[in-house]
Amino acid sequence: MAIGKIYPATKQYLWGGEKLVRGYGISSSETPVAEAWMLSAHPDGDSLIAFTTENKYSFPAEVHSANEPGIQSFSAYIKAQPEVLGSLGKSFPFFPTLIKLIDAKEALSIQVHPDDSYALSKEGQYGKTEMWIVLEREKDAFLYFGFQKEYTEDEIRKAIEEENFPSLLCKVLVNPGDVFFIPAGTVHAIGSGIVLAEVQQNSNLTYRVYDYGRKDALGNTRELHVEKALKVMDRKKISDFMQEELKGLGKRKVGENAYKERIASCPYFTVERLFLEAKGCYTGQMTEESFLSILVLEGEAILKEEGKRDISEGTEQNKSSATVFEKTKQQQNANTAVEVFVKKGESFFLPAGNSQWSLRGKGQFLLTFLWADKER
């Protein structure tokens, strides 16, 4: 039983800003910070992890290397102890999930990600399905999300050549709290002035379609991948079925001043958003099926994990809820507990197992895990 704190890898892309450092406590020796990889076992940006122990309930403020005492890379940790991923996590040949915070001071390129079939056959790696949760936005900020109508390949190619490609896309004004599920093959782009959380398939494979003619620090334009993009993009009109279906689930009360909503589910991740109002408290149950990632989006709280115990007489929401963290089981064992203070911009990892966890405080939290039953 332990709580792991994740120390993110950061990316300094030309479109990034300073909001992740100033507003979310992300530590980086270089700016701008475009992305913080808050849970990653990807070779392009491996997170670091430190654990609580029986005698250590706090974490170092900053970590820079897996060579520091008590620190290891996340990929090394799960390789040495695959059981922490749970039975669902171990069923993948790779760690399935990657979680980011993104600060788009400037617009990102318009891009598309291939699905697994194409990516594995042509690139030797997996494709990418993802989702976004908008955290902040400047006035009139927008993103591009799919096509306005169905276009032929020739029409798309002509628009790219004439530098008119954005006119084919759906331009969506955004507000904090908005959620977008982006299946592989969907053309998309984050516009300027947006901070968001991204939960995605564990892949860093992107085909740029359009980049506004921008140049990097050396004066070079960035590579485009038009031919590959045309092969994998969904050219039909975007459907918001997934978004509307998920919105229909709505918030539900899950504890004292605590509310939760499911906002995405696919084979690579299931995501719920937990809201704690003043003095809110939520209790969940881990199982042997999946790990749990907790990303603090707003506020602060006390995160507590307790060892194996009899939870047959738990709260009513523990008895009735269907998520993997709230299934009631009969477990008898010693009851030990670890508590840590958590705040905005921090990320935590709870290994799979038979333990109970809780959050007490006020804020908004992103819960990511794997779940076999996607039909609920």
Tell me the CATH number at 329. 2.60.120.10
How far is 55 from 64, CA to CA, in rounded Å? 23
Contact 102, 370 (CB under 8 A): no
Among 22, 137, 157, 208, the active-site one is: 208
- Residues 271 and 231 placed together within one structural domain of the fold: no
Task: Give the domain extent around 351.
Answer: 252-369
- Residues 89 and 45 placed together within one structural domain of the fold: yes
Please indicate, yes or no, if residue 374 is contained in any of the structural domains: no
- Residues 273 and 226 placed together within one structural domain of the fold: no
- Residues 160 and 195 placed together within one structural domain of the fold: yes
- Residues 289 and 232 placed together within one structural domain of the fold: no
Among residues 223, 244, 265, the one where a domain terminates is: 244
- Report pLDDT for 73: 97
- Residues 189 and 333 placed together within one structural domain of the fold: no
- Report pLDDT for 30: 87
- Residues 190 and 265 placed together within one structural domain of the fold: no
Please indicate, yes or no, if residue 272 is contained in any of the structural domains: yes
Please indicate, yes or no, if residue 376 is contained in any of the structural domains: no
Please indicate, yes or no, if residue 375 is contained in any of the structural domains: no
Q: What is the DSSP letter of 82?
A: G
Contact 342, 276 (CB under 8 A): no
- Report pLDDT for 70: 87
Q: Tell me the pLDDT of the chain (376 aa) as tens digits.
A: 589 999 999 999 999 999 999 999 999 988 899 999 999 999 999 999 999 765 556 788 888 888 888 899 999 999 999 999 999 999 999 999 999 999 999 999 999 999 999 999 999 889 999 999 999 999 999 999 999 999 999 999 999 999 999 999 999 999 999 999 999 999 999 999 999 999 999 999 999 999 988 887 788 888 999 999 999 999 988 765 445 555 556 889 999 999 999 999 999 999 999 999 999 999 999 999 999 999 999 999 999 998 753 333 333 333 333 333 333 233 334 457 889 999 999 999 999 999 999 999 999 999 999 987 643 2
Beta strands in the chain (DSSP E): 4-7, 9-11, 35-39, 48-51, 71-73, 97-104, 110-112, 130-137, 142-147, 169-173, 179-182, 188-190, 194-201, 207-210, 252-266, 269-285, 292-306, 337-343, 347-350, 356-369
Active site residue 22: no
How far is 203 from 182, CA to CA, in rounded Å? 14
Based on C-alpha coordinates, what's the Rg of the chain? 21
Among residues 197, 226, 244, the one where a domain terminates is: 244
Please indicate, yes or no, if residue 275 is contained in any of the structural domains: yes
- Residues 207 and 256 placed together within one structural domain of the fold: no
Q: What b-and-e string marks burial along 80-104, b requiring 16 or more CB atoms within 10 Å of the CB?
A: eeeebbbebbeeeeebbbbbbbbbb
Contact 195, 260 (CB under 8 A): no
- Report pLDDT for 16: 96
Give the predicted TM-score (pTM) of the model.
Answer: 0.89
Phi and psi at residue 212, to the nearest 5°: 60, 20
Please indicate, yes or no, if residue 236 is contained in any of the structural domains: yes
Q: Which of 216-221's residues contact partners 24+ apart within 8 Å by CB, and which partners?
A: 216/14, 217/14
How far is 172 from 197, CA to CA, in rounded Å? 17
- Report pLDDT for 330: 34
- Residues 80 and 105 placed together within one structural domain of the fold: yes
Please indicate, yes or no, if residue 142 is contained in any of the structural domains: yes
- Residues 216 and 362 placed together within one structural domain of the fold: no
- Residues 8 and 124 placed together within one structural domain of the fold: yes
Among residues 244, 269, 294, the one where a domain terminates is: 244
Domain count, the chain: 2
- Residues 269 and 231 placed together within one structural domain of the fold: no
- Report pLDDT for 63: 86
